């Protein structure tokens, strides 16, 4: 399975036709995970659970009672989603002895109801508070695109999700995205990552980071896969048909503010090559300054970041008690910055956020899609980041920069692979839309994906 990664669509066709047995697929998946040299990808294997769900799928398919296109397809979960009977550790040692979940998270139940087979939990940045994916407690998954002999970072915080899909262990893993945690590992690992509009799915049973920013989404191999997962996570019996627009009917806006600052030339070149293909196919493309983007960072400099304020409130007792000694000191240091953010600063940020959201939507214009590099750089080697704390924080900030804009503006986004850059590492292209424009964005992403055909 690791040598020939398969999409949900491909697996579904095999399962529904009877050419592939759900139990055989589950056993193949579990065996591939267990034989994977990188033991930092999965934190928990749900072996018995997976076998029960696969057996149930086998019976349904044999009796002509398929639950739909996802029946029998394996899925992995970031270690933020409650799984009945297990503690939700959020990538931390602190929660290892916490009470086990009384039931599955709502979206776990939703995908189970669609017939999917949960095979395990995957690694992440501790408490989801880093865009790099480094975890000192459970190890850091190696980016599968790393050159021989190198350990490049996977991106975070959904690190294990990105690597599990990129390595071909599972066709999809569900992550969370508070500042880019789905789109960053998708771009670094050369796969598709869809961050849904906040509130599109139930957050019941999902360990939070910052509720005003937290959203969910799948990391997978194709946009069509993301569309099917999206429908199931919303409890729909089937996915809504995509509009399938022609590229010539699409309008894109390239922001000239912030997102290209300090970007690696090879990343920019990969992006511009993709834009040129869109232009040749007839897409309407304009470039425009977005002062709202600069205003977001000015606002954070004046009042502090929403994520930092909310993370501090969430973890205050841990940060000021003995648990802090068990946490990643970089997570502790960043979280403690929230102690200095006054309530007046927090409320001022929320007020200004509403204004900036409205200004952004007006400047983007109806029906237009924002397009720019997902990240300004490719995945760097891990060791210098471990050796130099200043470099760690500098790189983390730069990695989160482009994607956090979408979270602050409460929108949706899809990162697509758009070629390779320095060192042959993947580069990503990010399509974004305003709050609630998910269906239109997914349809556009499918059209762009088909044109790029990477």
Which CATH number goes with the domain that contains 104? 3.90.1300.10
Give residue 133's domain range.
8-233
Return per-residue pLDDT of the chain as tens, 454 residues: 344 578 999 999 999 999 999 999 999 999 999 999 999 999 999 999 999 999 999 999 999 999 999 999 999 999 999 999 999 999 999 999 999 999 999 999 999 999 999 999 999 999 999 999 999 999 999 999 999 999 999 999 999 999 999 999 999 999 999 999 999 999 999 999 999 999 999 999 999 999 999 999 999 999 999 999 999 999 999 888 888 899 999 999 999 999 999 999 999 999 999 999 999 999 999 999 999 999 999 999 999 999 999 999 999 999 999 999 999 999 999 999 999 999 999 999 999 999 999 999 999 999 999 999 999 999 999 999 999 999 999 999 999 999 999 999 999 999 999 999 999 999 999 999 999 999 999 999 999 999 998 5
**246 domain-assigned:** no
Catalytic member of 12, 161, 181, 415: 181
Buried b (16+ CB within 10 A) or exposed e, 389-418: eeebbebbebbbbbbbbbbbbbbbbbbbbb
The structure's pTM equals 0.97
- pLDDT value of position 454: 58
Which distant-in-sequence residues (6+ apart) come within 8 Å of 448 by Cβ? 247, 250, 274, 278, 416, 429, 431
Where are the extended beta strands (E) located within 229-365?
A: 251-255, 284-288
**CA end-to-end span of the chain, whole Å?**
20
Report how many domains make up the chain.
Answer: 1
User: Residue holding tokens 């293909």?
Assistant: 277
CA–CA dist 266, 208 (Å, integer): 35
CA–CA dist 115, 58 (Å, integer): 10
Q: Are 257 and 288 in contact (CB under 8 A)?
A: no
Catalytic member of 7, 12, 78, 173: 78
CA–CA dist 317, 269 (Å, integer): 47
- pLDDT value of position 1: 39
- pLDDT value of position 5: 77
* Residue 149 structure tokens: 């002999």
In the residue annotation, 158 being an active-site residue is answered as no
389-408 vs 329-336: helix crossing angle, rounded to 10: 50
**91 domain-assigned:** yes
- pLDDT value of position 2: 40
**359 domain-assigned:** no
- pLDDT value of position 447: 97
**135 domain-assigned:** yes
**32 domain-assigned:** yes
Cis omega (within 30 of 0) for bond into 33: no
- pLDDT value of position 439: 96
* Residue 292 structure tokens: 């709202």
- pLDDT value of position 3: 45
- pLDDT value of position 241: 83
Buried b (16+ CB within 10 A) or exposed e, 109-137: bbbbebbbbbbbbbbbbbbbbbbbbbbeb
CA–CA dist 437, 439 (Å, integer): 6
CA-closest candidate to residue 407, choices 310, 268, 266: 310
**57 domain-assigned:** yes
In the residue annotation, 181 being an active-site residue is answered as yes
Catalytic member of 57, 157, 159, 432: 157
**158 domain-assigned:** yes
**27 domain-assigned:** yes
């Amino acid at each position: 399975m690791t040598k020939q990664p398969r999409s949900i669509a491909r697996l579904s066709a095999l399962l529904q036709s009877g050419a592939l047995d759900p139990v055989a697929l589950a056993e193949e998946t579990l065996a591939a995970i267990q034989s994977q040299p990188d033991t930092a990808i999965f934190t928990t294997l749900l072996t018995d659970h997976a076998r029960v769900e696969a057996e149930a799928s086998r019976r349904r398919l044999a009796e002509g009672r398929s639950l739909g296109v996802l029946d029998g397809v394996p899925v992995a979960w970031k270690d933020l989603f409650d799984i009945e009977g297990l503690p939700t550790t959020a990538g931390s040692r602190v929660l290892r002895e916490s009470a086990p979940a009384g039931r599955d998270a709502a979206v776990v139940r939703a995908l189970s109801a669609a017939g999917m087979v949960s095979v395990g939990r995957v690694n992440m940045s501790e408490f989801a508070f880093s865009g790099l994916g480094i975890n000192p407690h459970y190890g850091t998954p190696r980016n599968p695109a790393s050159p021989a002999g190198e350990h490049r970072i996977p991106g975070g915080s959904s690190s294990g999700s990105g690597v599990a899909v990129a390595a071909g262990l599972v066709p999809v893993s569900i992550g969370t995205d508070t500042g880019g945690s789905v789109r960053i590992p998708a771009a670094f690992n050369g796969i598709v990552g869809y961050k849904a509009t906040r509130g599109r799915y139930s957050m019941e049973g999902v360990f939070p980071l910052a509720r005003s920013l937290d959203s969910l989404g799948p990391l997978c191999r194709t946009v069509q896969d993301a569309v099917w997962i999206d429908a199931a996570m919303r409890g729909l019996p089937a996915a809504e048909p995509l509009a399938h627009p022609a590229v010539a009917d699409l309008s894109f806006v390239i922001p000239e503010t912030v997102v290209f600052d300090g970007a690696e030339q090879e990343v920019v070149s990969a992006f511009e090559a993709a834009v040129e293909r869109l232009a040749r196919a007839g897409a309407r493309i304009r470039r425009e300054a977005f002062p709202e983007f600069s205003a977001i960072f000015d606002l954070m400099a004046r009042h502090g970041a929403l994520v930092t304020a909310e993370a501090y409130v969430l973890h205050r007792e841990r940060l000021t008690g003995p648990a802090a000694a068990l946490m990643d000191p970089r997570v502790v240091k960043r979280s403690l910055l929230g102690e200095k953010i006054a309530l007046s600063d927090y409320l001022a940020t929320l007020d200004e956020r509403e204004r900036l959201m409205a200004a952004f939507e007006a400047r983007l214009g109806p029906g237009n899609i924002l397009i720019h590099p997902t990240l300004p750089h490719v995945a760097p080697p891990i060791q210098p980041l471990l050796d130099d704390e200043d470099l760690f924080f500098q790189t983390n900030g730069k990695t989160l920069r482009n994607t956090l804009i979408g979270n602050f503006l409460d929108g949706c986004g899809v990162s697509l692979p758009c070629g390779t850059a320095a060192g042959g590492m993947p580069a990503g292209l990010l399509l974004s839309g305003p709050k609630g424009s998910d269906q239109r964005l997914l349809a556009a992403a499918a059209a762009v994906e088909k044109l790029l055909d990477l």
